[in-house]
Each structure stands twice: as C-alpha cells, then as structure tokens.
Structure 1
Amino acid sequence: MGNCLSRQDQGTDHTTGELALTTIVPDPTPTVPNTQQQKDHNDRFLVVAIDFGTTYTGYAFSFRHEYARDRLKISTNMWTHNVGLSEKAPTAVLLNKNQQVVSFGYEALRDYAELTEAKKQATFFFFHRFKMNLYTDERLRANTMLADIRGKHVPAIVVFSAVIRYLREHAIDRIRGIDNQLCLDGKHVHWVLTVPAIWHDKAKQFMRKAAEQAGIEADRLTLALEPEAASLYCRYVPVYDSNAISRSCEDLTQPVADRSDNFNYFGPGTSYMILDLGGGTVDLTFHTVRQDGTLQELHPPSGGYWGGTLVDSEFSNLIISALGEAVMMRAHVEYPEEMIEFMSEFEVKKRMFKCSQTVAVQIKIPACLVDLYSDVHGISLAEGLAQHELKGKLSLKRDKLVLTAELVESLFAPSLSHIVGHLIQLLHSEPINRIDTILLVGGYSESPVVKDNISRMFPHIRVINPPDASSAILKGAVLFGHEPYAIASRVCRNTYGIAMQIPYNPEKHSNETCRIFDGMVDDVFDVHLRAGDTAAVGAKVAERDYFIREGTIYGVLDIYVTSNRSPEFVTEAGCTKLGTVTIQTENENKDRSTKIAVRLVYHGTELDVEAREVASGKITKITVDFLG
C-alpha cells in the first residue's frame, strides 16, 4: 500500500468520546445561511416519503404548512385491490422487454397472471419480494444482476430504479390532482427513502444510486433508517397513563377512556426500544427523548433477517416436504400466478392466527398442486397426505389444506426464537437494561402471535403496539424530511478510518507484525470514527493531518471499516476496504511537506470525506463509493 498517506509523528494516538456528524439534509435554518441556500430550501414546500418494503411498499406526503399546523397531518396513497383499499401495495413489478414498468403492486400481480394464462409472459420480467437481495448479497456492486420469477436476469439497479421512478411519478401525479392550479416542480419536493438500519453500507448506497437514477436529485434526497423513522412518529403516539387512570376512577361523572388527561406522550427523559418487525428484517433501535424533544440513540441498531418472510419460508418448506420438490418446482414455473395467490392467502391467515387458537387453519390449495401431485406421484394428494409423517396435522378437505393450530404455531418458532433470543441478550446489557418500554411497529408486529410471545417473555416491560403500526415507518419518514435534526445523536455501529504510514520505530514496531516500506510502517488503521462512540449531529468533526508522498501531486485515501473498536492495521481480520478517494494538490510534493487535513463525516447511512490542502486552502468533498 505504498501510496497511502503518512503522518510524521511516531504514534497513532486517537481521541475517543463524543464524535460529530452532519446530516444528509441541509439544515432548514443554517447557522450561516447564504441567500441561495435559503432560497433553495424555501422552495421545498413538500416532503414525500417512500417506504420500499420487502413485502409491501407505499408512499406518503405532507406540505410544509400542514406540518406547521399538525405534524400528523400526513396523507398516504391508497392502493386499490380486489377487496378494498390499502396504504401499501405488494412489492411486485412487471417490466416489458425494454425493462420499463408495465405495472406495479396489485396490478402487476393481476397483469402477470393474465399474461401467464395467455402464455404471453416470455417477453416480460416479473419481480416479487426482491428487496432482501441487497441485504443477502455481500458482493453487491453497481452491476449486480437480479433474477426474476422465471430466472431471467436484469441489472438490479434497473429494477430498483424502475420501481422508485414509478412511485415518484405516481406521487407527483396524485399530488397535482389535489389542485389543478398547484405549481409543483422537482425543486419543490424533498424525498425521503427508507432503508433498514442493519443493512450494510453498500446496500444503503445502492438505494441512493437507484433513487438518483430514477430522477431524484441527490441534494433533494434523504435516506432514513426505518426504526428511526418509526421512533419519530411514535413520539406523538398517545399512551395510557396508568397513574392518571387510577386517580380518575374516583370521578364517576365522566368515562375514564374519555378523559384526555388519561393519556400521555413520550416526554423528556423517556427511554424506549423500537422493535421494527418488517417482512424481511427485524430492526432494533434504542432512544431517549432529550429536553428539547430530539432523540438520542443509546445503542447501535441491531437485528437480523427474522421478519415475516421467515414464517413464509417455513410454510413453503412444509409444503415442499408434503408435496415433493418436483411438484413445487413445476408449479412455480408453470403456474406462478396460482402460487402467488396461494402464498397471499397464507399471508392473510398468518396475520390473523392467535396463540390461543385451537381451531384448525384452512387454506385454499391451487388446483395445479392437486393435479401435479397426482401426475408426479401416481396417487391423489389426499392419499399422499394420509401416508405422510405429518398425517393428523396436515390433511386435505375438498379444495383446502387443513393445518392444525399446533402446526401453524410451529411455523413462527424460528423467527420468534431469533427475536426473543436477541432481545434477552440486549436487555441484559448497559444501558439497554434500563429500558422499560418496547414499541412494536412494522407489518409483522400486527401478528397476535408475535405480540403475545413478546409480552409473555418480557412481563416486566411495557409493550405498546400502535394502532397504525404498519404505517409508522412511512409516516415517520415524512416527519424526518421536515425535521432532519430530530435525531440529535447516534452511536457509531462500526469503526471507520484511513490507511496510513508512520515512521518505523524499532522500539514500538515488530518486523513480524508490521509491513515496512521505505522506512515507514505501512497499512496502519488511523481511526476517525470509533464503534460505540456517540456521534452528535450538527457539530464539527475534528480534522486529522496527513502528508503526501514525496514526488507526487496527489494523495490517496483508502477508507476502511471494521466492527473492531481498536484496530491497529487495515490488514487485520474483519477490516474491509470501502473505497478510495484521490486528492489532487496544487503543486508537486518534493519533501513530504504537503499537508492534507482530512475529516470523515458519517450520517448513519452514508460516509463523506472532506480533505483540505492546508497550504492552498483547497477543499475536496467526496461521498465514498461503496459499490465500486
């Protein structure tokens, strides 16, 4: 790593404690505003948020004047489907042969079913529940490919940007339809796009690139962490004040539930956990409400791939075990629309199922599965299930699969085991062990099985599931667009730094553990942001000085990340190179005297680099490209 910057001191002393971050969105009231900045921001009188989910997706919006009067005056788009309206649509998109959107959501499901029935699907691409590919693909790049339902590949960036573009255009058309005299241009809108907190940096930046490719300008886009957005919304959720209710019981002139003073909000000093239970991921974040109403993060976000789709996977595995892999493979290839309807019906049953339920669950089985089973196995499906190891728990009654309540409840076990186990581990650690309230949000949180299990496992903790838990993230993302400084501080999840060289010192450095290059120790991890440190939003980040190699006119910044709090070298296990930034200087460096002052600025979703050539004052600002 001979091009890395050097420092002329003999050590790598690092300061710890409170670091500082800036936010992605410009401060609505900058400390030193200039006329153009103020004008640009004042043009933005509308915030539109897109919650791009694993299973369901939607958008919401509010005007600045609405936010000023009533912060919860947030409009959500209602999507039409067979049985009514919903705030979100299935994350499904149909593309034509030119990879352009034909339809989205419920319409995409319907259109693809009709194309398949007419045997015209060959020239189309259908993608369903594809978001989690960004989380599971550790080698994610800008040119990563995504397979559709029939195994045909399209660049992932094309699919994601196509969906975001569709939602952007749909939202603009919907808002313009409110008033035909409304003058609405791109400069009037600030966009917010949600991402899971536990996603790696590459996946978060991929979503930003997709949004920019969809026509959203970079400086008019904020990435919001899903549990943080939900937390912002939940600040305004009224909760029962048990003490006030006890006192009001003596007043028989008014029903207890009608008294406004029986409700309270999360005031200053309140600490709570947001447990965001989505379709794909489960995200946990921990906040304290500060005196000024802003939120302070107590612990880095955590979680895993334990959401509602894990229950779906258990159900799919159960059906594969009962019917055979050959049957299921043919069904997905030959009758994809029927299989999607089959899983959609299970989704409904999953949301309604209760722990105390004793009545068996009946799910209509597609005719294709009955026919294919007979074709592959030579016996009827009813006969086959009667001989299967699950007999007595899984059977066929006319055109319905019948699952005992015990069998259905077992499908939740892997997901709940991960969630509860992770909660137990966290709630035994400082400062999380002082939290006495859990807020359940996300679509999966509406499952009675999930709520009952968490309440039963943690009886000493108050568990609150807001009435609109499934839209808390979406509405909170709108709030975040209006108040980008609402999260006052975060806790760094990882350690970020720069690869550098320092002078070799035989008393400190060993030839066995160090790589020596031209009298310098190479590959030293110079820490800028340390895992576990508190990062205060809006404060200035301290610069760190480096010297450029002799005989060059540029400096190379190799940016690294690790979960290790105190790394020594970038070559250690667990250290990953995020990207490289090249700094051009005014003059050739002849004697290692050209000094560069560098600061890393981490927003929770993105990492920026600011480098200043000390002699000339020239400043270079770059966002690190994680995708290569």
Structure 2
Amino acid sequence: MLSANNKTSDDPGDNTITIGIDFGTTYSGVAYTWSKKLARIEIITSWDSDLHSNADLEKAPTAISLDSDKHVLWGYSIPHEFGQIRWFKLLLIDKNDLPDDVQNSPKIAEAVAYLEKHNKSAIDIVSLYLRHIWNHATQRIMETISKDMVCSSKLEIVITLPAIWPAYAVGRMRQAARIAGMLGDRDPGPTILTFVSEPEAAALATLSDMQGRHDIKVALHYSAGDSFVVVDCGGGTVDLISYDMVSLSPATVKECVKGQGGLCGAVFVDEAFTDILKRKFGKNKWRKLGDDARHRIQHDEWENGIKTQFDGSYREWKFTMPWECLEHVDLKPGTLIPKIVITSDEIQRAFDPVLDKIFVMVQEQVAAVTRKKGHGPKYVILVGGFGRSRYLFSYLKKKLGDEIEILQSRGASSWTAICRGAVIQSISSKGRSNLSIDVQGRISRASYGVRYSTTWDPQVHDASLRYFCHYEAGWKAKNQMCWYLNQKGDLVNSDKRVTSSYLRQFDTNDDQKQTIVEDIYCTTASQPPKVWNHQVKMLCTVKWETKIDLTTLPTFTNPVGKVIYVLKYDIEMTVAGGIMDFAVYRDGVRQGGKSVMIEYENA
C-alpha cells in the first residue's frame, strides 16, 4: 500500500550543530553554527600548512598526497615537491558525462593517472579528503564551543553539489561521506546528511549579506516581483539560478526559471595560462622545470598576481626565469638572466574562451526570465572564488550593457558564500532559527515517483499486470505509478516535504534482519504515465538496513488464515535547488545515514 501526503519534518531541537561543506574542485570550505542566529555562522580556518601564510585562509586546496612515507598529506600541508592529486571532484562523474574538452584535459589525465598509480577509485580519494577536512573541522569546532557541547549535540551535515551534476553523483558523494566516517553512530542521535545545490546556497548567502544594510536597501529598490540571477563561478563549474522576490520582510524568494550550469570554471583559465608558460619557456626549458618550480610560478605569479590583477586593461607582467631551467649560456658572467614577459592580450586570450561560455549561460538565463516575466532581471550577482575576478566583472558588464546591473563582492564573503549558504538553507528550512530568509519554491526538473501494486480490478487493469500475492492470498496489479511531483516544470513549494507511505509484509519464515529496498523513478514526459513504461527511467534505489522484531508489528490474518506482520515506514523526498534527496522514517523518526543508502542509477 502506498499513498502520497505532506509531512512535517521532525524538529531536532536546539541541540543541533549544523555544518556546511563546500567541496570544491580546487578549494573546499566549511561553515557551521550551533545557534539560531544568522550572525553566529563561523568559518573553519587554522589549516595545517606547509606555507604558514596560508594557514588562516577561509578555504583549503582540494588536494591529497599519498606520496609521503609517514601519513597522508592534504590541503596546504602538501610540500611543493610532493606529488599530489587535484581535480578529483570531477572524477565522481562518468567520463562520458563530461564535455569533450574536459575529458581531454591534461588535469583530468593527471588525476586519473594518479589514481591508477595508487590503485584508488574516485570515491576512495574523495572519502579520504572528506575524512581529513571533517576531522579538522570537528576538532576546530570543539576548540571553539567545547568538546562537551559537540559530544552532546546532534550533527547535521549539508554538502553542496553543482546543480548540473547527474543524480548518480549524489549517491557517490553520500557513499564517500559514509566511508569517511562522517555518519558514524553518536549518543545524541543519528548524524543527518543532506545536500543542497551550490547556486542555491550561494543565493541564500547573498540575500543574508544584503540584509540590514541601509545603503543596499536604497540602492537596490527591491520590491515584490523583482528578480535576480546568481552566477556561482567556482573552480570547475559555473551554476546559475534565478529568483523572484516574493516579499521583503521576511526576505522570501522563489525560483523563477529553471537554472543551468556548465563545466567552465577557473581551472580552465588556469590550464590556458599553463599553455602560455609552455610557449614562453620553450619545450627544453619547460621540461627542465620540476614540479616545485612550476607550482611556485602558478602560485606566486598567477594565482596571487596576474589572475587577480587582470581587468582587461593593457599592461605587461615580468618575472625572472627560474634557475632550474637555465642553460649554460644563460649563466655566463655578465649575462642577464632571461625574463618571461606576458602581455594582457595573451591573458585575455586565456580568459575569453571560458568567459564566452559563462556569458552564453547568463544570456540564456536572462532571456528565460524575460520570456516569463516580460522584463529582464534587475541584477546579475557574481559569487564564488572565480566570481571575484575583475575581468569577469568588466567582461559581463560590457556584454550586458546598462540594462542589467552586475553586483560583485571581492572579499571573503563571496569565497565562503556556498558553505555559509548551506548552513542557512538547512537551519531555515527546518524552522530552527529566526532567519528571515526563505526559498518558497523551486522548479522541478522532472516528475519523480514510485512503482507499486494495488488490488486487481479487471475493469481497470491490463491482464498482463496481474499476479498472485501469497501474503494477501489474492490477485494484485503490478507496475502502477504514483508520482511525487506530477509534472516537470512545476513550482515545488519548499515548505512541503513530499512523503510516500509504505507497507512491507512478513511472515514467521522471514529473516528479522532486513534490507528494505524501494526504487525511485523519474520521467520527463509532459504527462507522467499511470503505468510503468519506456518513458519511465530508474532514478535511484533507497536501501534501509533494519532489524525487525515481529512481536512489535501490527498483524492481519489473510483469507487462508495465515497471520501476516506489517511494517509501516515512510520515504520522504526533498528538492533543494535541483538536488534530489531521500530519507526513511519509521514511527516518525528519521533513520540514520549509516543505515540508509541511496544508490543512484549509473553509480
């Protein structure tokens, strides 16, 4: 038996620490709060660092080294001379789902080769990184609010994901988090893991940053119905999401049109700069450079120099050629050591192919808003690490003209927007705070539902669907579809968590330790079918491991006199900015992440 109804989420109370993790392609960050107040969101810093100047930054590199004889190194603690793997976040996606230019990227090839060298999978290396950043974060939290408070509080973890990722990538992230030990049993209760899309998290943080500023209120002239586009530019992905302002007090938004995204982040500009260096050095000198020298140039001259300074205006950058690649003729007395000279024209050619892709997506998003509302959005807001680029700002400003204003924050608030927004989304969606920020509705990307059986009716059901149920000792019709969301493109009201209720039947011959398995389906058909057919695709499988005490279950006696035991449970579906997630409830209690597995198709 299955029915769809709206369910109010369980209130975990005040003794909950919410931790938001922005697991990025190039850098990762963590924010947390133990308070109901938005102002108490803290950012994790104090990283272990081989370069002491980096220790207190708001994010750490998404990098792992397995080349140390003593222990695994990660983040800033990896010396330049050590081999390391980066970009491994993108390896969670099947190669065929990556664009051709990303598949052929040298960075991807290097990451794959590193995994093969150390006999690791993408999930292995992601879980290893998550374990280290999680252990570091929880240690810092205990040092800030006390070990006793952490040990006596429930934990809720929110991991952000690109909105464009396929559904199976969510399952792989959940698996990596479980392997990392983040979902272990704790006395206060099960640790809850949820997901939110990166652009939605960024949008919530942006709204939060704008609140309470009199100058912003005067400058923005927000009114109900105004819309804005948030462009979250990260290391690997760029995601866009558009919102309508529903009300000002409290600040409430709803998704305006379907968001979009692409793999066109900062790392692709980094690759283009590396190509410039190769040409400038020449094949022989470039080959002589060791990994340490190459890293030094990338870090000192590019990341902390050219990349941040470039705004499109003409200038030249010069730096001395490293001694490692010099030849004898360069070292003769009286000979000036050669310099590398890079012009702004060359830098622009590195940026523009990536920015062209970003502009196309911005243009498409603006056009979609205009078609729906009759006028374009008032603002395009840039967030994320790459979103701080001066040239990106001037490039989009020139392309979009004066009709749409571009807003950009270049400080730490933009860099930490996603992990802060993850915390905001979690505590505001569960009604645990006095936050006046809310996402009222989100656009459904498809129709989602379940397959079930019902009592056979020859007037309604096709004969091919009939089967005999030995539990109920009667005929039933299989392959009936019940849809959580009735149609792709619907606006999903975010204060309603859609729940399906299930009955699982047992007799005394069944094992008491059970793995309950339920399949979730999706369709992009304009009218979702009532019976399972070729239009319906498998989305994921929800597996719940539980021990069943038959004596505690309600019973019924079937027509042949056999006593049947009935287990009742619910599966709840939530949608956060395009990220689907599921939870299992029994007797109103959410089952812990350690006992519930979500296995996505193609995972």
Structure 1's 240 and 581: CA in aligned 2 closer, same or farther, altered over 3 A?
Answer: closer
Q: Deviations over 1:62-112 (max 9, x none)?
A: 331xx43x53653442546454542112211223689x963321211x2x5
Contact kept in structure 2, 1:296 and 1:489, CA below 8 Å: yes
Structure 1's 399 and 497: CA in aligned 2 closer, same or farther, altered over 3 A?
Answer: farther
Give the Cα–Cα distance (whole angstroms) in 1 for the partners of residues 583 and 147 of structure 2.
Answer: 43
Give the Cα–Cα distance (whole angstroms) in 2 for the partners of residues 190 and 599 of structure 1.
Answer: 19
Give the Cα–Cα distance (whole angstroms) in 1 for the partners of residues 407 and 66 of structure 2.
Answer: 40
Give the match's secondary structure for 2:391: helix
1:431 maps to 2:366: no
Give the Cα–Cα distance (whole angstroms) in 2 for the partners of residues 197 and 151 of structure 1.
Answer: 31
Contact kept in structure 1, 2:92 and 2:123, CA below 8 Å: no
1:106 counterpart residue number: 76
Structure 1's 185 and 239: CA in aligned 2 closer, same or farther, altered over 3 A?
Answer: closer
**TM-score normalised by structure 2 residue count:** 0.70
Amino acid at match of 1:313: E
Q: Which of 369, 389, 407 pairs up with 1:464? A: 407
1:228 maps to 2:190: no
Q: CA RMSD in A?
A: 4.8
5 Å-filtered alignment, 1:57-456, equals: 57-64=28-35, 67-68=36-37, 71=39, 74-79=42-47, 81=51, 83=53, 85-95=56-66, 102-108=72-78, 110=79, 113=81, 116=82, 126-135=84-93, 137=95, 147-148=113-114, 151-178=117-144, 183-185=149-151, 187-217=153-183, 219-238=191-210, 262=218, 269-291=225-247, 292-319=250-277, 335-344=290-299, 345-362=301-318, 366-368=322-324, 398-429=337-368, 430-431=371-372, 433-456=375-398
Contact kept in structure 2, 1:602 and 1:608, CA below 8 Å: yes
Contact kept in structure 1, 2:367 and 2:376, CA below 8 Å: no
Amino acid at match of 2:599: D
Q: How many residues align?
A: 522
1:53 counterpart residue number: 24
Give the Cα–Cα distance (whole angstroms) in 2 for the partners of residues 462 and 477 of structure 1.
Answer: 26
Give the Cα–Cα distance (whole angstroms) in 1 for the partners of residues 492 and 272 of structure 2.
Answer: 40
Q: Which of 520, 545, 556 pairs up with 1:559? A: 520
Give the Cα–Cα distance (whole angstroms) in 2 for the partners of residues 556 and 590 of structure 1.
Answer: 27
Give the Cα–Cα distance (whole angstroms) in 1 for the partners of residues 478 and 278 of structure 2.
Answer: 54
Gaps of 5+ in 2: 99-110, 184-189, 331-335, 431-437, 468-475, 561-565, 587-594
Amino acid at match of 1:316: T
Give the Cα–Cα distance (whole angstroms) in 2 for the partners of residues 361 and 516 of structure 1.
Answer: 74
2:540 counterpart residue number: 578
**Shift, 1:521, TM fit:** 11
Give the Cα–Cα distance (whole angstroms) in 2 for the partners of residues 149 and 359 of structure 1.
Answer: 41
Structure 1's 315 and 193: CA in aligned 2 closer, same or farther, altered over 3 A?
Answer: same
Give the Cα–Cα distance (whole angstroms) in 1 for the partners of residues 542 and 442 of structure 2.
Answer: 25
**Shift, 1:452, TM fit:** 0.8
**Shift, 1:525, TM fit:** 6.8
Give the match's secondary structure for 1:209: helix
**Shift, 1:411, TM fit:** 1.0
Contact kept in structure 1, 2:21 and 2:159, CA below 8 Å: yes
Give the match's secondary structure for 2:315: coil
1:474 maps to 2:419: yes
**Shift, 1:50, TM fit:** 2.1
Give the match's secondary structure for 1:177: helix
Q: Which of 465, 473, 490 pairs up with 2:442? A: 490
**Shift, 1:150, TM fit:** 8.2
5 Å-filtered alignment, 1:518-537, equals: 527-529=483-485, 530-537=487-494
**Shift, 1:155, TM fit:** 2.8
Give the Cα–Cα distance (whole angstroms) in 2 for the partners of residues 565 and 415 of structure 1.
Answer: 34
5 Å-filtered alignment, 1:5-84, equals: 26-27=9-10, 30=11, 41-44=13-16, 46-64=17-35, 67-68=36-37, 71=39, 74-79=42-47, 81=51, 83=53
Give the Cα–Cα distance (whole angstroms) in 1 for the partners of residues 448 and 406 of structure 2.
Answer: 35
Q: Deviations over 1:136-162 (max 9, x none)?
A: 54689xxxx965288433132332222
**Shift, 1:441, TM fit:** 0.2
Give the match's secondary structure for 2:150: coil
Amino acid at match of 1:405: S
Structure 1's 356 and 538: CA in aligned 2 closer, same or farther, altered over 3 A?
Answer: closer
Give the Cα–Cα distance (whole angstroms) in 2 for the partners of residues 370 and 150 of structure 1.
Answer: 33
Gaps of 5+ in 1: 8-18, 31-36, 245-258, 381-396, 510-514, 613-620
Give the match's secondary structure for 1:235: helix
Give the Cα–Cα distance (whole angstroms) in 2 for the partners of residues 96 and 411 of structure 1.
Answer: 32
Give the Cα–Cα distance (whole angstroms) in 2 for the partners of residues 348 and 431 of structure 1.
Answer: 42
